[in-house]
Amino acid sequence: MFNKKNTTIAVVLTLVVVGVIIASQRLSNRGSSGLTGPTFEVERGPLTISVIESGTIQARDRHVIRNEVEGRTSIIYLVAEGTHVQEGDLLVELDASDLEDRAQDLEIRVQNAEADLIRSQENYAITESQTESDVELAELDYEFAKQDYQQYIDGEYPYELKQRESDITLAEEEYARALQNMEWSEKLYEENYISQTEFQGDQLQSKRRELDLELARGRLDLLTEFTYTRKLAQLESDMNQAKSSLERTRRRARADMIQAEAELKAREAEYNNQKRRYDHVQDQIKKTKIYAPADGMVIHATSTQGGGRRGTQEPLEAGHEVREREELIHLPAGQRMRAELNVHESNLDKISAEMPVEITIDAMPDVTYYGKVTSIAPLPDPTSMWLNPDLKVYRTDVEIEGSAARLRPGMNCRAEIIVKEYDDAVYVPIQAVVRVGGRPTVFLHQGDEFVPHPVEIGLDNNRMVHITEGLEEGQHVLLSPPLDVSAVVRRPREVEEESTDIPMQPSTTDESDAPQSGQDQPRRQRPDGAQRQGGQGGGQGSRRPVE
């Protein structure tokens, strides 16, 4: 009996406990989120939005000494870093042995090219003189041919024609006289006044004169019908041949001159090319010795690049190989300084030119310098991208105000860029804000539970976020919202109906919080060591929806 009674009591107690647990769970589902953890009381007061980055100190005005020797060459002498040099002192000497060998070879080529050029110049002068003589001779032959042609038409032919005609006239007169003598001789012979021999002599004389007349007439016909035509054609041909020869001579002269000129230009181009290459190598040899352009303290370029040559820890020293246009030495000019920062891409939309900056030096933490942003690179730093393709940082220059005699180039610094300062702002820790359905939301303490409450946010400094709407000072929010927000927000149907009364307004960033480029940003002067309310957050803050 006792065992049965005890068993019955145990079963009843178990059922009661289970019922209580189930009832508690139902009540919890109806009215409590079941969330617990540390809370934060919403604060109201001054809030500073800033971006903190590390960087190095550089001289604002400096002479950058670069390697101007083409290709790659080695350093054989390098002035020690920190040395104070005067203008004209030797800073760097590069290996010039290869350049000197090239200079000797090019010097020989220049001499050969110069000899070829002189020969071409003389050949051009000879060709020019010869072509001028040939053209003048051809022109003279053509002129003589024209004169011969005109002389024959106007002089020789009329003269010969008249001579033939006069010969005929004389022959006719002599023939007539011979006939007359023969007639008288015939009468005298018949009357026996003269002998037969004399009569026959007169007959022979008459016959001779007749033949002379026929020959004179024949010579005239030969002149007019054959000799004139042939001679005229010959002279005209000679004139045309002389004209053609003159044209050929002129063309040949032009061709010879063009060829001589082309050869001369080619030799001139070859000489100038070799001379230019020789002069260029000589100039390169001069550039292997780099002298100080002004007085100053020597700083090796690798000491200002934060990580050595090409991202290594290797400092610049004699024996190292350097490339063309590589920075070797910086010579600061004056005591004005600037800070070089690498700003992460997530902070780019926060900062702009002319924003105030407070700078502390690692070596002098008790001193604060003030300055302003002067420039932001439009493209990410290529060295950082080469070392880490996923890291995008942008070179940002900060001008340090006044004289900074204690600062030295290459010092590490920490710069706080003041994005915006609020005299009266509501803020909560950044980890207290999550997104529910794409809206910034906090878990607000109401009664005995934490309920999701939508808010509107502004800028953050990676520690505190500005609440522009949705919270009041003194309210409490959960500092550790659940990772799986959807599981907490999910309710039974009746709870979901009640939860529909919670306003879930779309979150929009307060545009008044965004710094406007080109506008003066509030600059806060404060004594060293003073604290800002909520302003000492991490340096990699970003203006982004809080996760």
Q: What is the pLDDT of residue 227?
A: 84
Query: By three-state DSSP, how is residue 235 classified?
Result: helix
Summarize pLDDT for 383-438 with one digit per residue, the tens.
777 878 888 899 999 999 887 778 888 789 999 999 988 999 999 999 899 988 88
Burial of 34 (0-12, 13-18, 19+ CB in 10 A): exposed
pLDDT per position as a tens digit, 151-187: 888 888 888 888 888 888 888 888 888 888 888 888 8
CB 321 within 8 A of CB 74: yes
How many angstroms separate the CA atoms of 537 and 351, rounded? 16
Residue 240's pLDDT is 92
Q: Where are the beta strands (DSSP E) in 252-363?
A: 289-291, 296-297, 299-300, 321-323, 327-332, 337-344, 356-361
What is the per-residue pLDDT across 441-478, written as a single tens digit (0 to 9) for each?
999 988 888 889 999 998 888 889 999 998 988 999 98
Nearest to 68 by CA among 327, 333, 330, 383: 327
The structural domains of the chain, with segments of one domain joined by +, span 62-94+290-333, 100-287
pLDDT exceeds 50 at position 45: yes
354-383, pLDDT tens digit by residue? Answer: 999 999 998 888 889 999 999 999 998 887
Q: What pTM was computed for the model? A: 0.53
The owner of tokens 């041919």 is 145
* Residue 342 contacts residue 540 (beta carbons within 8 Å): no
| Residues contacting residue 103 through CB under 8 Å, at least 6 positions apart | 278, 281, 282, 285
The mean predicted confidence, pLDDT, of the chain is: 80
Backbone angles phi, psi at 37, to 5 degrees: 145, 180
For residue 546, what are its two tokens? Answer: 């809080």
Letter for the amino acid at 231? K
* Neighbour-count burial of 261, counting CB atoms closer than 10 A to its CB (0-12 exposed, 13-18 middle, 19+ buried): middle
CB 402 within 8 A of CB 367: no
Confidence of residue 540 (pLDDT cuts 50, 70, 90): very low
Say what the pLDDT of residue 530 is.
35
3-class SS of residue 166: helix
Residue 310 has pLDDT above 70, yes or no: no
Pick the CATH number of 62-94+290-333 from 2.40.50.100, 3.10.129.10, 3.30.230.70, 2.60.120.10: 2.40.50.100
What is the number of other CB atoms lying within 10 angstroms of the CB of residue 63? 14
In the chain, the amino acid numbered 247 is: E
pLDDT band, very low/low/confident/very high, at 14 (cuts 50, 70, 90): low
Q: Has domain 100-287 been given CATH number 1.10.490?
A: no
Q: Angle 196-222/157-190 helices, nearest 10 degrees?
A: 160
pLDDT at 99: 93
